[in-house]
Amino acid sequence: MKKGLKFDKKLDKKQLRTPKVSKSNIPSVSSGEQLNHILHNAGSQSISAWNFLYIFLLSGFLFSVLFVSLARLQIVEGEEMVERSEYNNIRITTIPAYRGIVFDKNGEKLVENVAAVNVYINIDVFLDHQLEIDEERLRYVSGVLEEILGDKWLLVLDGDEEYSSIYEKIYSIYISNPYLSSILLARDIDNDVSINIKSRGEELFGVVLEDGSKRIYKYPEYLSHVLGYVGEASAEDIERYEYISQNDTVGKLGIEKFYNELLAGQNGRQATEINALGHSITGSSYTLIPESSGGSLYLTLDLEVQKQLYEILKSSVKKNSAKGASVIVEDVNNGEILGLVSYPGYDINQFIGGISQADYDALLVDDRVPLLNRSIAAQVPPGSTFKTLVATGALDSGAITTSTIYTSRLGYTFSNGAPFQEFHNHAYGQLNIIQAIARSSNIFFCETIRHWDMNELVPYLKAFGIGEYTGIDIPGEMPGRLPSPENKIYLAEHGSPWLDPVWYPEGDSCNSVIGQGITLVTPIQMVNWMAAIANGGTLYRPHVGQKVIDKNGNIQELSFEPLGINIVSKESLDIVREGMWSTVYSALGSSGILSSLGKEVAVKTGTAEFGVLNREGEYEHTHAWIAGFYPYDDPKYSFTIFFENGGLSFNSLPHIKEVLHWLIENGYY
């Protein structure tokens, strides 16, 4: 028996038995009282010492279990539990959406995503209960990480920000967004760096590696100025666009930027239990909001055309000793761009994950200015190509007709005696408008504007987009400059002291109508106005985007409203087109080299003078332009080729012939 329980040794088993109840033993009472008496006596006999023993043993056992459990929690596992409760946390992170792929019009992949490893730091583990950063610990971790990453972390154009140290970057980002739990420090680290970070995990408090993806451009130089590139979202990006958050990848230039929202998709959210080092405890995460992939973007560009145009420009620039060049081919019936090249290009893959300072400086100091998209941002005088617009406006207004004759002669002067002449001082005799276009007569167009009014020409120029943005879906376009009296006076009064704040009706007007003076255009404007001349008077919005297909296969055709419809009469355009045809196929024209292409083309050349005059009073530098459309009877494509500081347009005719020959031979007509 258990200690503490004592029984009288004199009692035997008989005495411990429940006494028998007989009738003779029951007092003479009522039946109810009898029953109660029996039950009372029976109960008092049944809850004897054994019953108390069972209850006491059960209570003792339960108390012992509780005591042992509390002791284990408080003493054995207490320190561990305190540490876990203090440092373990739930981290809510973004599930990056899969960025959409980009294809050419034929389904050729131009851009894709490949696997990459990114470096993040969990800022939560550096905060005390007052949400203040443990600066000493953060500086130490930043220093170790900086040592491992080298200059990989210093992303010069990443987020459009520059930092002197990782610590500065982390601190700056956290201060601007204190609710951020993790900060991206480096993208696409190599395997050696990844191993080094993992091997020093205890030192790199809060640093985590996560699988991600990076953008790869398959034809980086051919398409650099069209595609652009992506980078980390800057503070400005986050503030400007509601759908962008910290650590997102966004388009920085080109169609990556213009179509960013369509390509980016929608990020998801996930929860992960982490320890003091910022590492996952369970090794898994729980999806709170699933991500939604971006759409696939199809362009109007043809990759084979793009590659061929680039190679021709590359060779032609060298032959012409030009600084740079541009060539564009546009569908005259809808504004779709078949090919758009600015030379030189550059390797846009350098910018993925951030370009190093050395590589970026090399691009900046390159005197060819490879970062300039000449096709949409080079603002230069158009030379005699501009005469096509002047002729259209003059014919439409009635200022001239096909019967109007002006004489190209030597010794031509303004009323004040100032000389004005043909290119290289030629004299062509009597000319009508068709002959004047074919001969590219300066004097004919000067006579036209002297008998007309520049203020009446300006609305026609604006209708064709001069001094206006075309609205092409590639960011970075420049508007050129409209040669209006108001613009000249404004320039003279705001930073152009070499200009008189007066519009001279003869000198300024004559310089303007031949594409000189203050007139500035871009290649995209020129190919677009040539398309309007070819199609009968509709100025389309040029574009490279065609359609977007989402993850479910739904197709969204991209639409672009025309910039102007029936901007001039068909009769006026018919006459101008005939003049451009005569440039190639008549004895008066200077572009007969293009007459053997197999399809009839219409062109206008232009040599734009710029810079300072030499001792002979001639400009030492010229830009070369050639623009037009084909086939002549049923126009399909307009084109322009531009050579910056590339000599005379006549010398560039073989280069545009090479372009047109390849296009026609390969069925682009």
Task: Dump pLDDT digits (tens) for 539-549.
Answer: 999 999 999 99
* Cα 120 → chain centroid: 23
Q: Which amino acid appears at position 355 of this protein?
A: I
Name the residue type at position 70.
Answer: L
Listed as ranges, residues in the chain with pLDDT below 70 are 1-54, 60, 65, 67-89, 91, 152-162, 179, 274-284, 612-618
Fold adopted by 303-350+371-665:
Beta-lactamase (3.40.710)
Give the largest CA-CA distance in the chain: 165
- How high is the pLDDT of residue 618? 67
Query: CA 135 to CA 101: how far, in whole Å?
Result: 42
Question: Rounded to 5 degrees, what angle do the CA atoms 463, 468, 473 make?
Answer: 110
Sign (positive or negative) of CA dihedral 192, 198, 203, 208: positive
The DSSP code for 607 is E
Q: Which two tokens stand for residue 614?
A: 């030499």
pLDDT of residue 304: 98
- Residue ranges in 398-535 assigned as alpha helix (H): 433-439, 442-450, 454-463, 485-493, 507-513, 523-535
**From CA 653, how far away is CA 591, in angstroms rounded?**
7
Of 481, 391, 395, 404, the C-alpha closest to 445 is: 391
CA gap 461, 231 in Å, rounded? 39
pLDDT at 27: 41
List the domain boundaries for the chain.
Answer: 89-224+268-299, 303-350+371-665
Look at residue 242 in the predicted model and tell me its pLDDT. 84
Report the alpha-carbon distance of residue 208 to residue 189 in Å, rounded: 12
| Helix ranges (DSSP H) in 182-234 | 191-199, 224-227
3-state DSSP assignment of residue 340: strand
Reply yes or no: is the peptide bond before residue 344 cis, omega within 30 of 0.
yes
The reported pLDDT for the residue numbered 123 is: 85
Q: Where are the alpha helices (DSSP H) in 335-441?
A: 357-365, 374-377, 387-397, 433-439
* Two tokens, residue 57: 């043993």
Contact 187, 306 (CB under 8 A): no
What's the topology of domain 89-224+268-299?
Penicillin-binding protein 2a (Domain 2) (3.90.1310)
Question: Can you give the pLDDT at residue 531?
Answer: 98
Using alpha carbons, select from 464, 476, 471, 292 the residue that is nearest to residue 388.
Answer: 464
Chain-centre distance of CA 395, in angstroms? 43
| Residue pair 488/508 in contact by the 8 Å Cβ criterion | yes
* C-alpha torsion sign, points 465, 466, 471, 472: positive
Q: Which residues contact 116 (CB under 8 A, 6 or more apart)?
A: 187, 188, 211, 212, 213, 214, 353
The whole-number pLDDT of residue 132 equals 82
**Tokens standing for 138?**
């953060």
Distance CA 177, CA 181 (A): 9
**Is 303-350+371-665 in the same CATH topology as 89-224+268-299?**
no
Distance of CA 262 to the CA centre of its chain: 11
Q: How does 281-306 read in b/e, with b if 16+ C-beta sit within 10 Å?
A: eeeebeeeeebbbbbbbbbbbbbebb
Nearest-angstrom CA–CA distance, 173 and 163: 11
- Give the pLDDT of residue 611: 74
What pLDDT is stored for residue 54 in this prediction? 66
Compute the distance between CA of residue 625 and CA of residue 644 in angstroms, rounded to an integer. 9
Residues whose CB is less than 8 angstroms from the CB of residue 637 and which lie 6 or more positions away in sequence, other chains included: 329, 330, 331, 332, 338, 629, 630, 663, 668, 669
State residue 198's pLDDT score: 92
| pLDDT of the residue at 17 | 39
Q: In this structure, are strands 102-103 and 89-95 parallel, antiparallel, or unpaired?
A: unpaired
From the CB of residue 144, how many other CB atoms can be counted at a distance below 10 Å? 17
**Structure token digits, residue 481:** 């400059």
Q: Cα-flanking dihedrals φ and ψ of residue 215, to 5°?
A: -85, 135
For residue 361, CA distances in Å to 366, 371, 580 come to: 9, 11, 44
